Amino acid sequence: MRAAADGVPRLRASGIVKSFGDVDVLRGVDFEVRPGEVHALLGGNGAGKSTLMKVLEGVHQPDGGTIELDGEPVSFASPHAARAHGVSMIFQEFSLVPTLSVSQNLSLGAEPRTGGGFLDDRAAEREARERLARLETDLDPGALVRRLPTAYWQLIEIAKALTDHTRVLIMDEPTASLASSEVERLFDLIRRLRDRDISIIYISHRLEEISQVADRVSILRDGTMVATENVADVSIDRIIEHMTGEELEQTDGTPERRAATPAQDGEPLLAVEGLACRSVVNDVSFSVRPGEVVGIVGLMGSGRSEVARALFGIDRITAGTVRLEGKALTLDSPRDAIDAGIVLVPEDRRLQGLVLMHTVEDNLLLPLYGDLTERGLIDSGKGRSIYQRFAERLKIKTASPRTPARQLSGGNQQKIVIAKWLASEPKLLILDEPSAGVDIPTRNEIGAIIRSLTAEGRAVILISSDLTEVLDLADRLVVLREGRVARELPRAEVQSEPELHRLVQVA
């Protein structure tokens, strides 16, 4: 990393205070980013990272403190006002409309028009080419977004955020949805933006990324800024100590690698034969035994999530059979899967796993309300007892069971999704990208949950683009390529992430 410039900070926040109801989220936070610097912001789930950035970008108004931009006091009443001053944010969740083209997404809400008031598609494509050219890409402005790989979605989000006068770009978990091969291309782009004197605030839970892309790092814990250091001067162990407030003994902060379960005789819990769907899935066969974790890996577009959707009754199965405990299943809907004992923690927890406006308790109990209802009345006492048991088991942090799910950190939202399915006592748990956008302690807790489930004889399908996570937890590996099983092998035959990465690439 190059040395960041001295002098007046590009953006400085001093004494920022923010509360939501009785919860103090930010407690007098000081933070700054220099011109042409990549400054990483780290912290556990609920530490206040996203809230601080939303204050800097005008989404939330601070209850106290000041903000300066290039030495001048500023106050942003809205994201539009922040962008007008050159401060833009790219959020963790994509905001693109998949059915629209690249140029239509880039001009959405500010579409150029002809003298007669009609949409001017040619002008929109011309402007899109100019914006994409700033990022040194030849992406076709007329391409439909839904037909593009995820890496290009991230590129389009960056193009949307950048203007001729952008001074600060905030990136919240930009690699959460990217495959390993796509991450380095994003890092190259970040370096080019930095070289153009754009300041970048980089939020991530993947600590190994920080040394590759950042100049300095700041760590939030419980709404307080506890450290700011040069990346070259700090180790991952030291960062984790700052994040947790506890000294590490003999750990690098990563989950303990789970000993692989020896192959078992007898009937598998789940047997999939010749599975095909209208999507990319075509002739997929594999099995999962009781107490086993099967990791499904593959490149973007290989059919990983589509297999999960089919087994959960979302995508229609056009060929093949699915057997659970030897019984053939008809999976026409998620209810069919749930009744059989198959549950899914989806890739996008916010859109597919939660009702964000509902409370934490309602979300956790949602699949159980049928069983909790008698003569048209819900047994609220029994429901509260179930909520408390699983909230404690998964260490869900919330001010109240009545807190809306949208107010929780990403890691706690993920825990709610997992908890609601654990409460239904499934036979098979499918986890699609379970650690995306969660911190190391939460990732470790998810690993512990998986171990407890397999110890009870339940089975787990783990789908993840984080190959380290797969190696840490899986017993067997199924490698998909273009909707088919390209390799199946015991985890013990793969010794390292680079080796598994090569298998995924050339399977």
pLDDT in the model for residue 353: 82
Q: How many CB atoms lie within 10 A of CB 439?
A: 27
The helix, strand and coil proportions of the chain, stated in percent and rounded to the nearest 5, come to: 35, 25, 40
pTM: 0.59
Interatomic CA distance for residues 45 and 243, integer angstroms: 10
Query: Is 178's pLDDT higher than 90?
Result: no
Q: What is the CA radius of gyration of the chain?
A: 24
**Mean pLDDT, range 226-252, rounded to an integer:** 80
What confidence tens digit (pLDDT) does each residue in 306-356 have?
999 999 999 999 999 999 999 999 999 999 999 999 999 988 777 788 888
User: Burial of 176 by CB count in 10 Å (0-12 exposed, 13-18 middle, 19+ buried)?
Assistant: buried
**Which domains are seen in the chain, by residue range?**
11-244 (3.40.50.300), 270-506 (3.40.50.300)
Lowest mean pLDDT among 56-60, 297-301, 396-400: 297-301
> In terms of residues, how long is the chain?
507
The residue ranking higher by pLDDT, 8 or 119, is: 8
Instruction: Tell me if residue 423 falls in helix, strand or coil.
Output: coil
Name which residue leads in pLDDT, 34 or 135.
34
| Helices 410-422 & 440-455 angle (0-180, nearest 10) | 10
Cβ-count burial 460-482 (b if 16+ within 10 Å, e if not)? bbbbbbbbbbbbbbbbbbbbbbe
- As given in the structure block, the two tokens for residue 420 are 């609601």
* Concatenated DSSP letters of 97-154: -TTSBHHHHHTTTS--B-TTS-B-HHHHHHHHHHHHHTTT----TTSBGGGS-HHHHH
pLDDT at residue 257, as a whole number: 57
Distance from C-alpha of 13 to C-alpha of 29, rounded to nearest angstrom: 7
Average predicted confidence (pLDDT) for the chain? 86
pLDDT band for position 204 (50/70/90)? confident
- φ/ψ (deg, to 5) at 426: -75, 160
More confident residue, 481 or 117: 481
The better pLDDT of the pair 422, 249 is held by 422
439-484 pLDDT, tens per residue?
777 788 888 889 888 999 999 999 987 788 899 999 999 999 888 9
**Distance separating alpha carbons of residues 201 and 197, to the nearest angstrom:** 13
Tokens of 188: 């190259």
Cβ neighbors of 104 (< 8 A, separation 6 or more) are 97, 111, 124
56 vs 139, which has greater pLDDT? 56
- Asked if residues 70 and 246 have their Cβ atoms less than 8 Å apart, the reply is no
Q: Is 240 helix (H, G, I), strand (E, B) or coil?
A: helix
* pLDDT score of 3: 44
